[in-house]
Structure 1
Amino acid sequence: MDENEHSSYALEWTLDTFFTPFHSSSSSPFSLVILYARPFAPLPVSVAGPDVLPTLEVQMKMVSDQIAEKAKQICADKLVEDVEVEVAEGDARNVLCDAVDRHRASILVVGSHGYGKLKRAFLGSVSDYCAHHANCSVMIVKRPKSKH
């Protein structure tokens, strides 16, 4: 999960697909771990000095907390309360693949930004990386295009 609508959509899709039909039964057969991969502090900020880093850390913690709360709210809206939310620092590709191994996940669900070939070449694709490197099945959820 991150701050964009693609990951929110992927979470909602996951809840609708794997959890919501089970909300009236005693328990779901699935466990849900939502992970936010918090990026490292940018190198120029790290070099800028010790005064800048604490301020950036506070801001990054606020963003992490907001994302975690948003994820919990989406789950609560879908009547899914048994959820674990984690924040791990690092490159999302590595953080997700490590989490798959740590939790022995059977499926990793990621959202797709829908980048074109050029943008994907420069920015890299977390979903593409995970599809090739995660030790489980990977579901890439695409948000439907708006009809406007």
Structure 2
Amino acid sequence: MEEKQVMVVGIDDSDFSLYALEWTLDHLVGPTTDDSIFKLVLVYAKPSVLSAAGLLAGPGIHRVADVLPIVDSDLKRTTTKIVEYAKELCIKKSVKDPIVEVVDGDPRNVLCDAVEKHHASILVVGSHGYGPIKRAVLGSVSDYCAHNAHCSVMIVKKPKTKQ
């Protein structure tokens, strides 16, 4: 029996990421059967406590230190919520036993490292749909991965809602 190819899917707390996961489960993975070609690896890049606290606390070392336990608790809660939701979505779509990894760090590096670690054939990421200015200022995880991951990269865009 030949080994299954690996598909890494980046997940975060955005609707874009969750849409990309659901789309992938519906169109590329489907129920796990003997003829499924992919082993699914879900990767969540957890922000560091210091980077998150630094954004919230503003200037002043003493303020950051006061906020650290609160931020850490919130990050843990958010991580648990995202991972549990992703697992439930897999179960709902009859995809059993996805590998789920939570790694501290910048999503760009975490996802590219996961591709290398698992020898992935494809990386799936959602797109926030930033325009060129926001993308230049904030950076784009999908753009970075498309240029730096050593596998095929599929960027799943959430359709715009009609108003």
Q: Common fold, TM-score beyond 0.5?
A: yes
Identity %: 55
Gaps (5+ residues) in structure 1?
A: none
Q: Which residue of 2 aligns with 1:117?
A: 132
Q: Which of 52, 62, 74 does residue 89 from structure 2 map onto?
A: 74
Deviations 1:88-144 (A, max 9, x none): 111110010001101111000000000011111100000000000001100000111
Q: Does 1:40 align with 2:61?
A: no
Q: Does 1:15 align with 2:29?
A: no
Aligned to 1:57, the other structure's residue is in SS state helix
CA 1:47 to 1:96, structure 2 compared with 1: closer, same or farther past 3 Å? Answer: farther
CA 1:25 to 1:91, structure 2 compared with 1: closer, same or farther past 3 Å? Answer: closer
Question: What's the offset of the Cα at 1:27?
Answer: 5.4
Gaps (5+ residues) in structure 2?
A: 1-10
Q: Does 1:84 align with 2:94?
A: no
Q: Which residue of 1 aligns with 2:37?
A: 29
Question: How many residue pairs end up in the alignment?
Answer: 146
CA distance in 2, matches of 1:17, 1:85: 20
CA distance in 1, matches of 2:120, 2:145: 13
Aligned to 2:124, the other structure's residue is in SS state strand
Aligned to 1:37, the other structure's residue is in SS state strand
CA 1:24 to 1:84, structure 2 compared with 1: closer, same or farther past 3 Å? Answer: closer
Aligned to 2:48, the other structure's residue is in SS state coil
Q: TM-score, normalised by structure 1?
A: 0.90
